[in-house]
Structure 1
Amino acid sequence: MNYLSSVNNQYGGTYVAPEDLPANSAAFEAQLTESLKIWHIQEIKVVWIKIPNARAKLLPFLYQAGFMNHHCAVDFMMLTLRLEDGAMIPPFANHSIGVGGLVINENNQLLTIREKDHIKTHPHNWKFPGGMLEPYEHIEHGVIREVLEETSVQTEFQSFIGFRHHHQGQFNTSNIYAVCLLKPLTLEITIQESEIFDAKWFPIEDYLTDHKIGKYNQNMLRSALQHSGLKNLNVPGYMPSDQDYEVFMTQ
């Protein structure tokens, strides 16, 4: 075969998979040149090529042909080439998702932490335990995991309270920080010493009237006290792909 095998998609693009790459660089260069001619004749709009780390020697040929980096993971690079002026190339993920656990016990106390990174610059930053979602992790599972990791307090998901959206996230991404109401199943605190300076159950009235506490956290707490929030309906097979989705709605 003197051209690259590829699969067309419904958007007028075509995709070359790693398993369809030729065994050596010389063959790849020749097949790429011929394929570009064919794709132009076929009026292909965008070409996508996935290059595993083990085939990184092929990258210079793609760059010379005008391909651009689109996204990558630890074991591959995805490149694209726009063959039609104005053809749409959807951007890769540009948001990160963080979660915060708003945990209130039966004594009207709020579970709070102070992070080691903030203790010198913001010594009174008593905040909700939480952190970043892991890949393919649901919000409900992620917030329960983060609270457990940082404080050892086991919790049960109650509702989604609200979120903050800003454009100053890690690695120049935008960030969504989702706050969830959790019910504590245990009360004893053991901090995650690598990240957390200390943690405590903070009386709610004191938290709401403390002028040193961030207004965002205070407002989220007030919202949780006044409203039930959005429930996770846990709808299995919500989409045709028959996967489990998180669906937050009022009831």
Structure 2
Amino acid sequence: MDNEDQESLLLQGVPDNYGGVKVNLTEPMTIEDFVPKLRASLVYWSNQGTKGIWLKLADGLDNLIAPAKAEGFVCHHAEREYTMLTSWIADVPSTLPANASHRIGVGAFVLNKKTKEVLVVQEIDGHFKGTGVWKLPTGVVKEGENIWEGALREVEEETGIKTKFVEVLAFRESHQAFLEIKTDIFFLCELEPTTFEIKKQDSEILAAKWMPIEEYVNQPWNQKKELFRFMANLCLKRLQEMEYMGFSKVLTTTSSGKESYLYCNTDHANLLNATRGLASTSG
């Protein structure tokens, strides 16, 4: 059997960087056609010393999930457009990474330095429904969105206020927080307002206003709940002691050339941005 005939009996895969194979199926296939090709491919990949198999089934190929599981595959994760299954066929312990385990949230400390007021909202639904608590605008960072971009977007969506990113003041993590499974990482970002007229989001926000920062900090909720007290006091400290510095962003690229942001101490971020393109020295 020549290579062309052999390939027609196998599922077409692309090697990954870790000794595995990625298979992306997008066209309809019957179970009768799929199962023999999968079994032959598993034998072939095993003989080639392949370790892990990533089997991506496009939306509409749900008929292939059960047959794949019958051949040892397990569901890794699912999105609207596809279902991803994996199989580890090497004799060594699996090194396939688990599904994404974290959700990224952002909160926005939007400070009007002239009036010493902070932008706050009351939510229609959720944990704070009916509490009367005034809170910072918050939300979840979308897929493919940078942390600072998520903070700007959430503020504008909820209040209509346009802002500029200043820095990350702090972050916290909480395990088994989202769906009682995923870890939630929350970044508190300082933003500088460039507009001041509030136009609240009617679907999610009950009310929005500029509040004196001391009044925000001294709310009973913030004083009784330790984490909220810590974060509120941090915002107050930032106003009173501007030398408190968080993390600013530096635009850079990954080793593969993709745009990325490095967050580091504001003084050093300013230095990196000012000396961009210059060779580093040891002093």
Question: Structure 1: which 5+ runs fail to align?
Answer: none
Residue type matched to 1:229 in 2?
A: G
**Equivalent of 1:246, from 233, 249, 261?**
261
Q: Equivalents in 2 of 1:76, 1:23: separation in Å?
A: 15
Q: Which residue of 2 aligns with 1:139?
A: 147
Q: Does 1:129 align with 2:146?
A: no
- Alignment correspondent of 2:70: 64
One of 135, 152, 166 as aligned partner of 1:158? 166
CA RMSD of aligned residues (A): 1.8
Aligned residues: 246
Aligned counterparts of 1:93 and 1:23: Cα–Cα separation in 2: 29
Match of 1:232 in 2: 249
**Contact 1:98–1:131 (8 Å) recurs in 2:** yes
Q: Is 1:119 aligned to residue 129 of structure 2?
A: yes
Task: Measure the CA separation in 2 of the matches of 1:207 and 1:17.
Answer: 52
1:202 aligns with 2:211: yes
Within the alignment, does 1:217 sit opposite 2:224 as a pair? no
Q: 1:38 maps to what in 2?
A: 44
Which structure carries more relative contact order (alpha carbon 8 Å, separation 6+)?
A: 1
Which letter maps to 2:66?
A: P
Q: Per the alignment, in what secondary structure is the counterpart of residue 190 of structure 1?
A: coil
Q: Deviations over 1:189-226 (max 9, x none)?
A: 12111111111211112223333323133133134333
Equivalent residue in structure 1 for 2:101, among 94, 101, 105: 94
What residue in structure 2 maps to residue 17 of structure 1?
24
Q: Match for 2:191 among 169, 182, 188?
A: 182
Contact 1:96-1:176 within 8 A present in 2 as well: yes
TM-score between both structures, scaled by the size of structure 1: 0.91
Distance 1:3 1:244, change over 3 A: closer
Query: Judging changes above 3 Å, is the alpha-carbon distance between structure 1 residues 217 and 127 closer, same or farther for their aligned structure 2 residues?
Result: farther
1:23 Cα deviation after fit: 4.2
- Distance in 1, matches of 2:193 and 2:28, equals 56
Q: Is the 8 A contact 1:119 1:197 kept in 2?
A: no
Q: Deviations over 1:76-116 (max 9, x none)?
A: 11100111241211012111111111011020011111111
* Structure 1 equivalent of residue 89 of structure 2: 83
Task: Name the amino acid aligned to 2:235.
Answer: L
- Preserved contact between residue 127 and residue 217 of structure 1 (Cα < 8 Å): no
Per-residue CA distance 1:109-155 (angstroms, 9 max, x = gap): 111111112232x32x2211121111100111111111011011111
1:181 alignment partner AA: E
Whole-angstrom CA distance in 1 between matches of 2:73 and 2:221: 52
Distance 2:155 2:102 in 1: 22
Q: Give the secondary structure class of the aligned counterpart of 1:114.
A: strand
Contact residue 100 and residue 128 of structure 1 kept, 8 A: yes
Q: Kindly, what percent of the aligned residue pairs are identical?
A: 31
Q: Which residue of 1 aligns with 2:175?
A: 167
Return closer, same or farther for 1:182/1:53 CA change in 2, 3 Å cut-off: same
